[in-house]
Amino acid sequence: MEITILVADDHPLIVKGMADFLLSNGYKVIAAETNGIMAYHKLINLKPQIAILDIEMPDMNGFQIVEKLNTNGHSSTIFIFNTIHKEQSILQRAIEIGVRGYMLKESTLDEILICLQSVIRGGTYFGKNLTNQYNSDHENTITSKLSPSEIKILRLIAQKKNTKEIAEMLFVAEKTIEKHRSNIIRKMGLSQTKNSLLIWSLQNKDELLLNKI
């Protein structure tokens, strides 16, 4: 029997490219969406065997779609992410919510087929190029070496809040936030220059804000 697949990505060309490619390789593409909410509804109604999703999409992102379907309704769909994100911690979170395949948009067409074959056989596929680009230790430390409060503060810093604003939002003294900032800088091995924490948090913004914790 043919394998049914849903494809979703906010770039129409990728949706079409993927759909055509899958069709020419014997898969049955039953839906192709460029919007998160539309993809979500089609997933509920059509129950495809596989869904290949982008992470960033209008209205609803890939994480939200998978989380909602894997917790409430017990979806039987196998989820694969197709994304530009190489960060180890984003892959990590994808694995945690039950995503079975993870491909980079820069990956070759062969890799798409290898990934599909692997998940269909009941396995997983979490592409290469992920631990290469950045060192995996560095990426892991954000979630592993920091305490919950530190991560909460870090996310606010990434949203351009200053110490005073963060203190007001969390109902604690500014000195407390200052201490946390200092601890984060020490734990992460950042330089002692001004704004190193701000710059670093903005660079790791995707990773910090896509991760829940």
Q: Quick check: helix, strand or coil at residue 99? A: coil
Q: List C-alpha distances in Å: 184 to 158, 178, 194.
A: 13, 10, 14
Q: Which part of the chain contacts DNA (CB under 7 A), choosing from 29-37, 92-100, 107-115, 171-179?
A: 171-179
Q: Quick check: helix, strand or coil at residue 144? A: helix
Query: Least distance to DNA from the beta carbon of 88, Å?
Result: 20
Q: Is 105 in the site for a copy of itself (CB under 8 A)?
A: yes
- The DSSP code for 191 is -
Among 169, 175, 212, 213, binds DNA (CB under 7 A): 175
Q: Is 147 in the site for DNA (CB under 7 A)?
A: yes
Residue 12 binds which entry of DNA, a copy of itself, none, with Cβ cut-offs from 5 to 8 Å by kind? a copy of itself
Pairing mode, strands 101-104 and 78-83: parallel
Residue 170 binds which entry of DNA, a copy of itself, none, with Cβ cut-offs from 5 to 8 Å by kind? DNA
Token match 């993927």: residue? 18
Q: Is 193 in the site for a copy of itself (CB under 8 A)?
A: yes
Residue 209 binds which entry of DNA, a copy of itself, none, with Cβ cut-offs from 5 to 8 Å by kind? none
Contacts of 28 (CB under 8 A, 6+ apart): 2, 3, 4, 5
Element (H, E) at 91: helix 88-96
Contacts of 118 (CB under 8 A, 6+ apart): 101, 124, 125
Q: Is 109 in the site for a copy of itself (CB under 8 A)?
A: yes
Q: Is 96 in the site for a copy of itself (CB under 8 A)?
A: no
Q: Is 13 in the site for a copy of itself (CB under 8 A)?
A: yes
* End-to-end CA, the chain: 40
Q: Quick check: helix, strand or coil at residue 126? A: strand
Among 108, 135, 195, 203, binds DNA (CB under 7 A): 195
Binding residues for DNA, rule: CB under 7 A, are 147-150, 162-164, 170, 172-173, 175-176, 178-182, 185-186, 190, 192-198
